[in-house]
Chains A and B, each alone.
Chain A
Amino acid sequence: MDSFARLLHLSPPLAWMALKLLIVIGGVMGIAAVLTWVERRGAAMMQDRIGPNRAGVKGITLLGLVQLAADGIKFFLKEDVVPPHGNRLLFTLAPALAFVPAMLGFAVIPFGQSFSSGGQAYHLSLLDPGNGMGMLYPLAIGSMAVYGILVASWSSNNKWAILGGMRSGANMVSYELGMSLAVISIFMAAGNSPVGSPVTLEAYDPHRIVEAQEGLWFAVRQPLGFLVFFTCMFAETNRLPFDFAEGESEIVAGFHTEYSSMKFALLQLSEYIHIVTASALLVTLYLGGWRIPFVPNPGVLLSVAAFLAKLLFLCWVFVWVRWTIPRFRYDQLMFLGWKVMLPLSMANLLLQAWLMHGRGIA
């Protein structure tokens, strides 16, 4: 531990940043990759079957984890068919447009407790607090996810793809409203709670939001907002019961009908990265981030473990829900978004404002 601290003091800030970058990219990609395995094995578990367990190297299957590598290799070795009737450039670009925003979303999430060493504060999030963007940044980046889907569907020039793209465009846009309104009441609560940190943080800084959840998590303090945000996350990640962009049984494969090979794999991977990012957002905003109940200062290792545990649990919930409930119909989705989620989030905002006023905060 001592040598690590010395290394930390000696190395330039850039090295610390690079390390965090590595953790974020490696962690997110790793969890997303394992999530595909969890999805398949979890589904198998729920459906009374075994799931992938055959792929292996010299008989070592690691509970089917080797299947991941096999799938990856298979994707590389597949012919990449680019439809000539579409737009080739956009068709190639679309997976990147889906992938990059998905990766970027995680940048502000604090995945552990900040610590100070040698008179210097270190924050376990890629972006240090006080950057002026805070939680606004993942919301903004999250909205960009729809571009990947829309570009993919448009450039395919396929009817199913365009139907899927239009659906998911309208879908994501509708649920973004409820989501951002729910987040506003978080900012309100975070900005008005006493914070122990010496650094002055904006109300929308994720570090401050986590600090503000020292007593009670926001999920407990704002159950309505939590419900809205949780539902919207399913819509934003295009997962069942809102998987309209793909909507397998209706519009074949939706926006990625024409995709094959690694491009398809990238689209698929970005969906799983979205799940990881959505779970991280949920954890940070509503489930106390790296906090452990009744432990005021868990320390670096324990806090990271707590964050990871919550994150993985939420990822599992995404999988769980997918294999449990059916899909909504499109108009019902719109109904839910506009006529239920939006009023609910507005009501939540006014209720929280009123409650806080009642408590004499404002």
Chain B
Amino acid sequence: MRAYAAILLLALVAACIPVAVWTLAYFVAPKFPNPTKATNYECGITSPGEAREKFHVRYYLIAVMFLVFDVESVFLFPFAVQFKELALFGIIEIGIFLFLLLFGYFYIWKKGALNWE
């Protein structure tokens, strides 16, 4: 457990830095608010419409594909660690596993899900 304490400590110290910086900046920085400063930056033009609109489905598609392949790599980690014990059997099995995945991979490739345009 002591090992994790070090990380906790590091996180605390790391979190202290932004807090300290904000506090100092809060007292030091000048404040001259005006309505123009508060407007949204869009190259000097009043922004037409909202920024938080619906986004293109491709971004979500990327996220979904990422999930699939990330889960794949999660399965590969134990294989890598137990590589020696699993021996040839492990290699063949992971080959089959990857083959199945690659099947899906080539399917989405052919379907054009990896193309941006």
Contact = CB atoms under 8 A, between A and B. Distances in A.
> Do any CB atoms of chain A lie under 8 A from CB atoms of chain B in the complex?
yes
Interface of A: 13, 17-18, 20-21, 24-25, 29, 75-81, 83-85, 92, 95-96, 99-100, 103-104, 107, 126-128, 130-131, 136-137, 154, 156-162, 166, 169-170, 173-174, 176-177, 180-181, 184-185, 187-188, 191-192, 202-204, 252, 257-258, 261-263, 265-266, 330-331, 334-335, 338-339, 342-343, 346, 349-350, 353-354, 356-357, 361-362
Contact of A100 (B11, B31, B79): B11
Contacts of A350: 95, 98
Given A96-B19, A99-B17, A357 B91 contact: yes
Given A159-B42, A169-B59, A203-B83, 18 more contacts: A76-B25, A103-B14, A128-B3, A136-B77, A166-B55, A173-B63, A176-B70, A177-B70, A184-B79, A192-B83, A203-B81, A258-B41, A261-B29, A262-B25, A266-B21, A335-B116, A362-B86, A362-B87
Given A104-B11, A162-B52, A176-B66, A191 B76 contact: no
Range, interface on chain B:
35 or more
Contacts of B14: 25, 99-100, 103-104
B21 A262 contact: yes
Contact of A170 (B4, B52, B59): B59
Contacts of A92: 22
A348 to B, nearest CB: 12
Interface of B: 2-7, 9-11, 13-15, 17-19, 21-22, 24-26, 28-33, 37-38, 40-43, 47, 50-52, 55, 59, 62-63, 65-66, 69-70, 73, 76-77, 79-81, 83-84, 86-88, 90-91, 94-95, 98, 102, 105, 109, 114-117
B77 A154 contact: no
Chain B: interface secondary structure? helix
Nearest to B13: A25
Contact of B40 (A75, A158, A203, A356): A158
Contacts of A25: 10, 13-14
Contacts of A24: 10
Nearest to B19: A96
Contacts of A356: 83
28 contacts: A13-B2, A17-B9, A75-B25, A85-B38, A100-B14, A104-B11, A126-B7, A127-B6, A131-B3, A136-B77, A157-B40, A158-B41, A170-B63, A184-B76, A184-B79, A191-B81, A192-B84, A252-B43, A261-B25, A262-B22, A262-B24, A339-B109, A346-B98, A350-B98, A353-B83, A357-B87, A361-B84, A362-B91
Contact of B41 (A29, A96, A160): A160
A304 B98 CA distance: 40
A111 to B, nearest CB: 14
Chain A: interface secondary structure? helix
Contacts of B47: 159
A362 B3 CA distance: 32
Contact of A204 (B73, B81, B87): B81
A78 B84 contact: no
Nearest to A170: B62
Contacts of B21: 262, 265-266
A264 to B, nearest CB: 11
A107 B7 contact: yes
Nearest to B30: A79
A202 B42 CA distance: 52
B38 A83 contact: yes
Given A25-B10, A80-B25, A166 B59 contact: yes
Contacts of A126: 6-7, 10
Contact of B28 (A13, A29, A77, A180): A77
